[in-house]
Chain A
Amino acid sequence: MTTVTETSSPILVQQSAGAMPRHHVLIFAGLLALSLAAPFFLYPIFLMKVLCFALFACAFNLLLGFGGLLSFGHAAYFGAASYISAHAAKVWGLSPELAILSGTAAATILGAAIGSLAIRRQGIYFAMVTLAFAQMVYFFSLQAPFTGGEDGIQNVPRGNLFGLFSLRSDFTLYFVVLAISFAGLLVIYRIIHSPFGQVLKAIRENEPRAVSLGYRVNRYKLAVFVLSAALAGLAGATKAIVFQLASLTDVHWSMSGEVVLMTLIGGMGTVFGPIVGAAIIVTMQNYLATFGAWVTVIQGVIFVIAVLLFREGVVGVIGKWIRKPL
Chain B
Amino acid sequence: MFELLGIPPQALFGQLLLGLINGAFYAMLSLGLAIIFGLLNIINFTHGAQYMMGAFVAWMLLNYLGINYWWALLLVPIIVGAFGIVIERLLISRLYHLDHLYGLLLTFGLALIIQGLFRNYYGISGLPYSIPPQLAGGQNLGFMFLPNYRGWVVAASLVVCIGTWFVIEKTRLGAYLRAATENPTLVGAFGINVPRMITLTYGFGVGLAAFAGVLAAPIYSVNPNMGADLIIVVFAVVVIGGMGSILGAIVTGFGLGLVEGLTRVFYPEGSAVVIFVIMAIVLLIKPAGLFGRTA
**A residues near B, CB below 8 A?**
1-4, 6, 70, 72, 117-118, 120-125, 127-129, 131-133, 135-136, 139-140, 142-143, 253-254, 257, 260, 264, 293-297, 299-304, 306-308, 311
Q: Does B109 contact A (CB under 8 A)?
A: yes
Q: Determine whether the beta carbon of B105 is less than 8 Å from that of A260.
A: yes
Q: Determine whether the beta carbon of B100 is less than 8 Å from that of A303.
A: no
Q: Which of A3, A117, A294, A300 has the most CB of B within 10 A?
A: A300
22 pairs from A and B in contact (CB 8 Å cutoff): A4-B99, A70-B104, A72-B104, A124-B101, A127-B43, A128-B235, A128-B239, A131-B232, A135-B236, A136-B273, A139-B272, A140-B273, A143-B272, A297-B112, A297-B113, A297-B120, A300-B113, A303-B108, A304-B91, A307-B105, A308-B94, A311-B98
Q: Determine whether the beta carbon of A124 is less than 8 Å from that of B43.
A: yes
Q: Which residues of A contact B94 (CB under 8 A)?
A: 308
Contact of A311 among B100, B102, B109, B280 (CB under 8 A): B102
For the side of the interface on B, what is the size category? 35 or more
Nearest Cβ on chain B to A171's Cβ, whole angstroms: 36
Q: Does B197 contact A (CB under 8 A)?
A: no
Q: Which residues of B contact A131 (CB under 8 A)?
A: 232, 235
Q: Determine whether the beta carbon of B112 is less than 8 Å from that of A257.
A: yes
Contact of B120 among A4, A121, A123, A294 (CB under 8 A): A294
Give the docked Cα–Cα distance between A311 and B109 (Å): 14
**B residues near A, CB below 8 A?**
37, 42-43, 91, 94-95, 98-102, 104-106, 108-117, 119-120, 228-229, 232-233, 235-236, 238-239, 269, 272-273, 276-277, 279-280, 283-284, 287, 295
Q: Determine whether the beta carbon of A300 is less than 8 Å from that of B110.
A: yes
Q: Which residues of B contact A121 (CB under 8 A)?
A: 239, 283, 287, 295
Known: A132-B276, A140-B273, A308-B106. A4 touches B101 (CB 8 A): yes
Nearest Cβ on chain B to A228's Cβ, whole angstroms: 16
Known: A124-B43, A129-B283, A308-B91. A136 touches B276 (CB 8 A): yes
Q: Which residues of A contact B105 (CB under 8 A)?
A: 260, 264, 303, 307
Known: A121-B239, A135-B232. A1 touches B99 (CB 8 A): yes
Q: Determine whether the beta carbon of B113 is less than 8 Å from that of A307.
A: no
6 additional contacts, CB 8 Å, given A127-B101, A311-B102? A135-B232, A297-B117, A300-B111, A302-B109, A304-B110, A307-B102
Nearest Cβ on chain B to A262's Cβ, whole angstroms: 13
Nearest-neighbor residue (CB-CB) of B111 within chain A: A300
Contact of B116 among A117, A132, A297 (CB under 8 A): A297
Q: Determine whether the beta carbon of B239 is less than 8 Å from that of A296.
A: no
Give the docked Cα–Cα distance between A135 and B100 (Å): 22
Nearest Cβ on chain A to B125's Cβ, whole angstroms: 13
Q: Which residues of B contact A135 (CB under 8 A)?
A: 229, 232-233, 236, 276
Q: Which residues of B contact A295 (CB under 8 A)?
A: 116
Q: Which of A125, A131, A296, A299 has the most CB of B within 10 A?
A: A125
